[in-house]
Amino acid sequence: MRFDKYWVLQVKAPFFVTKKQIDIFLDKNTAWIEKYHEIAKQKILPESEVEILKQKAKAYIPQRVEYFAKKYWFKYEKIRITCARTRWGSCSSRKTLSFSYRLMQYRDECIDYVIIHELCHLRQMNHSQKFWSEVRAIMPEYKKWEKELKWVKENIL
Ligand SMILES: [Zn+2]
């Protein structure tokens, strides 16, 4: 089991439980503990971790937006990196695209999905069928990543 320096795993047990029994219990439940550790980590990010994610977002997201914009002829004004907790991205009528640095915690495909979603809003400022068909044309499997982010929102954030 691996924990980073910010986290401590505390085990509470009745006095008659031996150290060995605790070790066996921990061994048996490693997967479960790691899963909940992952969830806890994402809920409360240490300040230094936030800084790292913000830096990563600033370095990664704009060039990725530019890549898709060039390839699919989208025109945007500027990009902002936000701290939004559950709003992954947005697109203003002034063509400013905003993305939460928190996206950097998830897989590349999820980040691409949000970028494509917001870029498509430059053409369709709604969630009409037309909007979704634009998204699908660029990313046919978008539903998978949309679902994954939705799961994160409902279960982790
Ligand atoms: Zn949208």
How far is Cα 31 from Cα 33, in angstroms, rounded to an integer?
6
C-alpha of residue 150 to centroid of ligand 1, in Å: 13
Classified as helix, coil or strand, 95 is: coil
Q: What are the helix (H) ranges across 44-141?
A: 47-72, 108-121, 129-138
pTM of the complete model = 0.76
C-alpha of residue 30 to centroid of ligand 1, in Å: 38
Classified as helix, coil or strand, 107 is: coil
- All structural domains of the chain: 1-44 (no CATH), 47-155 (3.30.2010.10)
C-alpha of residue 39 to centroid of ligand 1, in Å: 26
pLDDT for residue 156:
72
pLDDT for residue 46:
80
Beta strand pairing call for 89-91 and 96-100:
antiparallel
Contacts of 109 (CB under 8 A, 6+ apart): 144, 145
pLDDT for residue 60:
98
C-alpha of residue 116 to centroid of ligand 1, in Å: 10
Helix (H) or strand (E) holding 96: strand 96-100
C-alpha of residue 82 to centroid of ligand 1, in Å: 16
pLDDT (tens digit, 0 to 9) for every residue of the chain, 157 residues total? 555 656 678 888 888 999 999 999 999 988 888 887 877 777 778 888 899 999 999 999 999 999 999 999 999 999 999 998 889 999 999 999 999 999 998 999 999 999 999 999 999 999 999 999 999 999 999 999 999 999 888 877 7
Q: Is residue 89 a contact partner of residue 97, using CB atoms and an 8 Å limit?
A: yes
C-alpha of residue 16 to centroid of ligand 1, in Å: 56
C-alpha of residue 46 to centroid of ligand 1, in Å: 29
C-alpha of residue 88 to centroid of ligand 1, in Å: 10
C-alpha of residue 59 to centroid of ligand 1, in Å: 23
How far is Cα 25 from Cα 43, in angstroms, rounded to an integer?
26
